[in-house]
Structure 1
């Protein structure tokens, strides 16, 4: 029987389109579905997931594709499908509701609402028989005990609307950022280290870049080797593990085990953007060539697999191909023998493969356990000889993979995730100075400002020529951060002007002056049953922590005390929580680092301003900002006012805390001045 499309066939989200031929009468989130529920006084089922979610696919195949289950859903519920990546605001509200019910969160997220869109029950994945039983139970209860369910829903809504600051007992206090608290953050994190395989203890293992970027800053402040050693252990183990695609570059979402071996194979833009930043900064500190290799291979992966012709970056690659998780990435020993021929034996040792396989069903996840130097010595090869072999293996296996059926591509373009990749590219350009990286960064920035920005307002999404969803705080915060970084690697002041305009828009439309924090949603957009604030740094840094850092830097760039003092107040609001729970507020902790000492303001003026900048930025300068111009008097920035190229030679001015050092004319002298701040 020919399948008929439902309303989701008109959507652009790949996740919603995956459900477009379900027999379930799905609606997208919007007025039509919500008004229908009110008119018919039916309960609402909101089912939330995303395109690369394995268990979302499983529940679709097991339940949503079955006529018998769909019949019950259609008869008794108004059924709404939500792509959590398109609507993080909806996901945030109902995930919070699920957790308020005392239930474990995750995706697929299935929440039952009354006809006023207020939640009263929910869960994640359900087996088909359990799902059918739950549907019938909910329907019966809604008919017979509606009053009780409405009362319960009202209580959950009250919980959802409770201030995050009140929930955690946080009060306004005077800004006081001191080394004792900063040290305590490290000590609390240290207790969670996995000293054998890196990362934090336990499985599954998520990369969590914000934690390791904070540790790089803690090391810079304290010179505590334990911090740097844990960063190096973590980054090396991830780069050696199956979580890293040894053939094509790029990182999977997380590792299911404690050894970074078996990934959940979905590859997300937001992870890879942040990991490019992390490995680039670690390279600046250590000059470890492995980190350079990881960054350049990961950028190559993004350019090859996730870049649109217009310069935007797609969202993700699915974990599954041909309905099997990881099939695209793994090899049997027989396949390796056939593809690599006489090289297979040495490659098998390098990548730890075996005839019986190192994962399920006799397949091998390629991974490493030694540095190239150690492996070359064990095999009686020079390092150059080994690396030539390895590059040939990668090229050959990558070519062989092109013959396979590819994982599904989620080709929607999200502003916030693109900004994270743009930040990664700016950090990589700082570290390596590769012209192609700068080209990619500028192309993406121009794409975003052209396609997702309308006057001073951002949209969250873009696909097929259309941007349809109002931007969230994460879109503004992360794009502002990216633009600040882009200015510093180009000295083109337009990027700084755009960052300021977006900042002023967020202050006008997202800011809560009572709590000195920003709402996740604009006051000009759709109003849900609760208006949330994002405080905790998770896999992606919290939009409030990013905005607080932006305001700190913009206050210095533009000499705007209003921005600087607001940044101080935001951090002081959550300071106690940052000290107690740094693993969940690691980006806030990195902002705390910026407040411990004055930020160095480095102004470069003269004909070699760009080359001096590039030399400076090869070094890890986490508490410095750079401004510059080739021509005196051509800048509108006050930090460059009255700055001259002494005797026509490029001159560097290092200032901090409203006091300047003597001008110098070499990068080495400027670095020495910065080191003594």
Structure 2
């Protein structure tokens, strides 16, 4: 063993034992000790007597007549870590908590249903939401006060005040809790006056809504005029689709401009690929360094569509690098993707990703360093905090190459080598914490993104990855009756939420359209039928977030508004619409149309929080194109069609025969692969060449 190898081995051993102290070194243990969630395990040795959410803690609160304190967060949440270090690891603070409250820790990614309810309560109190979410409840689980992050001194004061109020003014607390419960238990449809259905979808109405949205465009830095800035993939998907039906150049230009700013900024990992959750500034420069699976899956779809439209290889590179990041750092050996990477490593946010000037000089050849520093805007004193540099680009590669009179092929080889050098060096650092939960819905979003990446680029590696991931979901996370699990965990069964079903259905529909393997379509149908039976509310014509057989909480929510992840109801409405066209099933389409009609007027008033509904609205402006392909070249023909941008379409195909309605009576004429382009159940004459089919698609 040489000295260098021994040196790094010793570093690894030191890191391992500092991160994994022996059981005898742990001074405290609480009721989280046997939990599987990485977030809950992080708190298992706090002096706070944490319980997981469950009957034991709730029963104890009633027996002792103590208020409940729930603290909700997730493993990659920076301010959750800060509050833990400041307060939950402090024995004096823990004593106050333990003596006066039944304390419950909740991983919001395992229990988003609980998080929704108590986040709603915080908003009803007039407070800004966020995580960690700390809420005080009566023993009946009714909230009466709460907030997010509190510095240590404020936290101790709040604990004392809440405890005293509960003891001295119990009737006042009860009255407040009852009023708050009644407010948050009110149906979302009633709260937003959504009883009326509007089934008219004129283009003019959408144009008015777009003009209002466009007033917020940040024409200097991309995105919208606010910070922090979140990528919001579905909002930009809407803008691409809006441009597609209106030819509004501003919508397309602003989207591509924003995507360029994001891919060039520090929010994108210039060395290892993949996107951070958001940028703390308006320029996409300084990221909040955590990386979430759901962001990267959706951004794959968005950049794939940008590539379909422009054929710009810069977008193709982002797609490839992001998939390599997912394979390298987020992929379980069985084919499932992990949930997230932490922002922090070695106790500091972003430490894994930033570089001093001197560190970079050691990694880049001396004769190339000046060019490297110019390309990534490296400064001797650092361009960020504590003398560190975040690598980012001010211009696209074509502009940089032209400005510096470089040969594009030579420069491409240089950047590849730079990234290899830095990535290899970075591997020796203490890595950010990995949240190794495998969440079905987030895997569905990733599956959809990888399918779109394959459709746009025809890279077989992407198809292989999609098949591996889908096989894992199908075999490990879906039970025999099409009941879906939220997480892949052999010790704890958490049933899937509507978000999970909707995203997995979407992923399987996408996989069918690039493979024509009907087992994926059959699975999507089975999951859809399960949601119709177990989540749908016949009275309000929307889906509940939780299964009808799920744990009874103080209220049952419906998720309507799109955010970073689209709402589970907008995803389901879209799934029903697409499946209805693939299967020729009017019942699915009618249910989708009814859901959209309920949201129609409210959606138009604020597309920023209903962009996926708005994309579904666009699908009603022109008839959906149904493309049926029969013959030996059906997959190749489908791939070529899908590589171009036309969002409002479905593609079905078979080499020989299929029982699907659109394929049942159709065949390969004279043995030649045949394409049928249909709208509203009426098909044009069959054609044999893709360019002829494309003329009919875009007519």
TM-score (norm 1): 0.98
Match of 1:207 in 2: 231
Counterpart Cα distance in 1 of 2:275 and 2:626: 35
Match of 1:535 in 2: 560
Q: Can you list the C-alpha shifts for 1:19-66, whole angstroms capped at 9, x where unaligned?
A: 010000000011111111111111000000011111100000000001
CA contact (8 A) 2:26 2:45 kept: no
User: How far 1:586 moved relative to its partner?
Assistant: 0.3
Counterpart Cα distance in 2 of 1:172 and 1:446: 42
Show the 5 A alignment for 1:95-174: 95-174=119-198
Show the 5 A alignment for 1:239-318: 239-318=263-342
Show the 5 A alignment for 1:193-592: 193-342=217-366, 343-455=368-480, 456-463=482-489, 465-466=490-491, 468-592=493-617
Unaligned runs of 5+ in 2: 1-24
Match of 1:7 in 2: 31
Counterpart Cα distance in 2 of 1:636 and 1:156: 53
Counterpart Cα distance in 1 of 2:446 and 2:154: 41
CA contact (8 A) 1:252 1:266 kept: yes
Unaligned runs of 5+ in 1: none
Question: Tell me, what secondary structure is at the counterpart of 1:460?
Answer: coil
Question: Tell me, what secondary structure is at the counterpart of 2:71?
Answer: strand
User: How far 1:17 moved relative to its partner?
Assistant: 0.5
Question: Tell me, what secondary structure is at the counterpart of 1:313?
Answer: coil
Match of 1:669 in 2: 692
User: How far 1:166 moved relative to its partner?
Assistant: 1.3
Counterpart Cα distance in 2 of 1:426 and 1:371: 26
Counterpart Cα distance in 2 of 1:607 and 1:408: 48
Question: Tell me, what secondary structure is at the counterpart of 1:458?
Answer: coil
Q: Can you list the C-alpha shifts for 1:162-214, whole angstroms capped at 9, x where unaligned?
A: 11111112222241111112212311221111111111111100000011000
Question: Tell me, what secondary structure is at the counterpart of 1:595?
Answer: coil
TM-score (norm 2): 0.95
Counterpart Cα distance in 2 of 1:429 and 1:185: 33
Question: Tell me, what secondary structure is at the counterpart of 2:389?
Answer: coil
Counterpart Cα distance in 1 of 2:680 and 2:491: 46
Q: Can you list the C-alpha shifts for 1:140-166, whole angstroms capped at 9, x where unaligned?
A: 111111111111111111111111111
Q: CA RMSD in A?
A: 0.9
Match of 2:662 in 1: 639
Counterpart Cα distance in 2 of 1:528 and 1:290: 48
How many residue pairs match? The answer is 673
Which one of the candidate residues 23, 33, 42 is aligned to 1:18? 42
Counterpart Cα distance in 2 of 1:416 and 1:560: 25
CA contact (8 A) 2:46 2:88 kept: yes
Counterpart Cα distance in 1 of 2:685 and 2:244: 24
Q: Can you list the C-alpha shifts for 1:537-591, whole angstroms capped at 9, x where unaligned?
A: 0010000000000111111111211111110000010111110000000000000
Match of 2:675 in 1: 652
Match of 1:593 in 2: 618
Q: Can you list the C-alpha shifts for 1:624-675, whole angstroms capped at 9, x where unaligned?
A: 10000011xx311011011111111000000001211111001111111010
User: How far 1:2 moved relative to its partner?
Assistant: 4.4
Change (3 A) 1:2 1:641: closer
Counterpart Cα distance in 2 of 1:548 and 1:287: 31
User: How far 1:467 moved relative to its partner?
Assistant: 5.2
User: How far 1:380 moved relative to its partner?
Assistant: 2.1
Counterpart Cα distance in 1 of 2:76 and 2:369: 32
CA contact (8 A) 1:452 1:467 kept: no
Counterpart Cα distance in 2 of 1:502 and 1:76: 45
CA contact (8 A) 2:275 2:295 kept: yes
CA contact (8 A) 1:114 1:120 kept: yes
Counterpart Cα distance in 1 of 2:616 and 2:26: 57
Which one of the candidate residues 201, 216, 223 is aligned to 1:192? 216
CA contact (8 A) 1:44 1:112 kept: yes
User: How far 1:409 moved relative to its partner?
Assistant: 0.5
Change (3 A) 1:466 1:291: farther
Show the 5 A alignment for 1:67-82: 67-82=91-106
Question: Tell me, what secondary structure is at the counterpart of 2:33?
Answer: helix
Counterpart Cα distance in 1 of 2:193 and 2:433: 44
Question: Tell me, what secondary structure is at the counterpart of 2:666?
Answer: coil
Question: Tell me, what secondary structure is at the counterpart of 1:275?
Answer: helix
Question: Tell me, what secondary structure is at the counterpart of 1:210?
Answer: helix
User: How far 1:8 moved relative to its partner?
Assistant: 0.8
CA contact (8 A) 1:372 1:386 kept: no
Counterpart Cα distance in 1 of 2:162 and 2:395: 55
Counterpart Cα distance in 2 of 1:149 and 1:81: 22
Change (3 A) 1:46 1:276: same
Counterpart Cα distance in 1 of 2:453 and 2:351: 31
1:51 aligns with 2:80: no
1:627 aligns with 2:643: no
Counterpart Cα distance in 1 of 2:166 and 2:380: 57
Match of 1:66 in 2: 90
Counterpart Cα distance in 1 of 2:402 and 2:508: 45
CA contact (8 A) 2:198 2:601 kept: no
CA contact (8 A) 2:456 2:643 kept: yes
User: How far 1:470 moved relative to its partner?
Assistant: 1.0
